[in-house]
Chain A
Amino acid sequence: MPTISMKPVFAPRTRAALLRLGVHGHGLDSGSTALSDDDIAIVRTSTSRALAYPPGYEFDVHDLMREPRLVVTGWVALSRGLSDGRRQIVDIFLPGDLIAGCTPDAPVSGSYHCLTEARCCDIGDITRHADSGRASATLVANLHTMEREFQARLIECVVRLGRMLSHERLAHLALDLYRRHERVGMLIDRGFAMPLTQETVGDVLGMSTVHVSRTMQLLRKVNALVTMPGHWQVPDAGLLAEYAAGKLGRQGGREY
C-alpha cells in the first residue's frame, strides 16, 4: 500500500472544501449556509490537517465509516469491480465533496480510490463536535446537504447508464463536472482540469475507449464540449445541457 505523506494543506487549496462546508468568500457560497465564527474555527482546524494520498490509493471502507473524509484537492472515485476485470465508476468526488456512502451500518459495496493525487481531511472531529453540541446545527446541516447530493448523483448515474445514448451520457457527465467546478470557483477558461484518461472516462460512462473517443469528437464537432488533453472546455453550457437532456440528436438535430 502506498505511503501517505503528512504535509498539511493550507488555503487557497482548501477553498472548495471551506465553501462547501459553509465558510463563504470570493462571492461564492456553493449552496451551503454561512457558518458562525466558532464553526469556522472547527472547520479550518479540520481542513488544515488534510493528508495527501497518491493516485490509485484505496481507502479502507471501515476507516471511512469511522472517520469520514472530505476531498480538499484531487479526484476520488467510488467504483465497483466485476469478476472479469471490468469496473464501473459510479461517482466521482471532487474538491469540496464529502466521500459519502460510508455511513455506519450501511452495507459495504464498492471501493473508494484516488483517481489523482488527492488531499483529504478527516472530518471526524466535526461530527464529534456535532455530537457533543459544540458544532452548530448549521454545520451539521451543510454536511447532510452534501450527503444528499451524493444520493442525488447516484440516481443521476443510474439514469445516465440505464437510459442515455452515448452522446447524452458524455454531455451529462461533462455538465455535472462543469457545474460542480463552477460553484466552487474552480472553472478555468470556461472549463476545468480533466485528469482522466479515455479508458477511465469509459469506466464512468460504461463505454469502450474507442466509443468514448468518437463521442468526444462528436460533441466537439457541434461545439458543445471541447476536450483537450488535461482540460475540458464548455463553450456553451446551455447547449451542453440540451444534449444531456436528449433534446438534440447526435448530428445536432432537435429530437423534440
Chain B
Amino acid sequence: MTRYFFNFQQGDACTVDADGSEFSSVEEAYLGAFRAAQDMWHELLIEREDPMLCAFEVTNGAGDSLFVLNFGEVLEACRGHSRRRP
C-alpha cells in the first residue's frame, strides 16, 4: 500500500492534505478521489458552493503531482449513461 495525498482545490484556495490515504496503486487512488468527489458533490451544493470549481490534486509522498481530478469529471462520467424516462 502506498500513501497518496489529496490536496483539495476550490477556486483559488487550496487545502493541503497532511494525512493522506493509502491505496494499492495510482489507479485505485484515482478511484478513491472520484468516490470522494461524488460524496462531496451534494454537500457542496447544500452549502451553495460550486462543485465545478473544485478539484483534487493528488501527490505522492515526495510531493510529486500524479494527477488532477476536476470534480466536473464526475458529471462527464454520467454522459451517455442517462436514460430518458417514458
Contact of A213 with B19 at beta-carbon distance under 8 Å, contacts A165-B46, A250-B47 already known: yes
Contact of A211 with B19 at beta-carbon distance under 8 Å, contacts A165-B46, A250-B47 already known: no
Q: Which of B22, B36, B38, B46 contacts A214 (CB 8 A)?
A: B36
A208 touching B36, Cβ below 8 Å: yes
Q: A198-B21, A214-B36 are in contact. List 20 more A-B contacts (CB 8 A).
A: A165-B43, A166-B39, A198-B22, A207-B39, A208-B32, A208-B35, A208-B36, A209-B32, A210-B32, A210-B33, A210-B35, A210-B56, A211-B36, A213-B19, A213-B21, A214-B15, A216-B19, A217-B18, A227-B19, A250-B47
Assign chain A's interface to a size class.
Answer: 10 to 19
Dominant SS among interface residues on chain A? helix
Bound complex: CA A166 to CA B17 (Å): 17
Contact of A209 with B21 at beta-carbon distance under 8 Å, contacts A165-B43, A165-B46, A214-B6 already known: yes
Q: Which A residues touch B19, using CB under 8 A?
A: 213, 216-217, 227
Bound complex: CA A198 to CA B23 (Å): 11
- Going nearest first, the 3 A-B pairs with the smallest beta carbon separation are A210-B36, A208-B35, A211-B39
- Chain B nearest CB from A204 CB (Å) reads 14
B17 touching A214, Cβ below 8 Å: yes
Assign chain B's interface to a size class.
Answer: 20 to 34
- Chain B nearest CB from A200 CB (Å) reads 12
Total A-B Cβ pairs within 8 A: 47
* Identity of the chain B residue whose Cβ is nearest the Cβ of A167 in the assembled complex: B43
Chain B, residues 1-29, CB within 8 Å of chain A (1/0): the string is 00000101000000101111110000000
17 CB contacts below 8 A, A to B, read: A166-B43, A198-B21, A198-B22, A207-B39, A208-B38, A208-B39, A210-B6, A210-B32, A210-B33, A210-B35, A210-B36, A210-B56, A213-B6, A214-B6, A216-B19, A217-B18, A250-B47
Which residues of B (23-70) have their CB < 8 Å from a CB of A? 32-33, 35-36, 38-40, 43, 46-47, 56
- Chain B nearest CB from A219 CB (Å) reads 12
* Identity of the chain B residue whose Cβ is nearest the Cβ of A210 in the assembled complex: B36
Q: Which A residues touch B6, using CB under 8 A?
A: 210, 213-214
* Identity of the chain A residue whose Cβ is nearest the Cβ of B42 in the assembled complex: A165
| Centre residue among A213, A227, A249, A250 by max chain B CB count within 10 A | A213
Q: Which B residues touch A214, using CB under 8 A?
A: 6, 8, 15, 17, 36, 40
Bound complex: CA A206 to CA B38 (Å): 12
- Chain A nearest CB from B6 CB (Å) reads 5
* Identity of the chain B residue whose Cβ is nearest the Cβ of A251 in the assembled complex: B47
